[in-house]
Amino acid sequence: MTPGIDIVPTPDRAVDEAGVRSVRDPQDWPIVRAARAAGVDVIVTGDKDLVDAGLDHPVIQTPAQFLATRP
């Protein structure tokens, strides 16, 4: 895998809108929608609303959690 940045559009609606709405802050919903549309496996963030959402996909991890799970 080559490090880089992919810019993806934010869909108006997610496939699983109920899952998106489990995130407390509506301003974070577009992030989850875009991540799902792009097939992202993990979102690495310190945003408490995303971390506490308990989403199955994509997995939301803090930077410390992400680094702890890498070989």
Residue 36 contacts residue 58 (beta carbons within 8 Å): yes
Question: What was the pLDDT predicted at 20?
Answer: 79
Q: How many residues does the chain have?
A: 71
Question: What was the pLDDT predicted at 16?
Answer: 62
pLDDT in tens, 11-59: 876 566 667 778 889 899 888 888 888 888 899 999 999 999 988 889 9
pTM, to two decimals: 0.78
Report CA dihedral (61, 57, 14, 36) to the nearest 10 degrees: 70
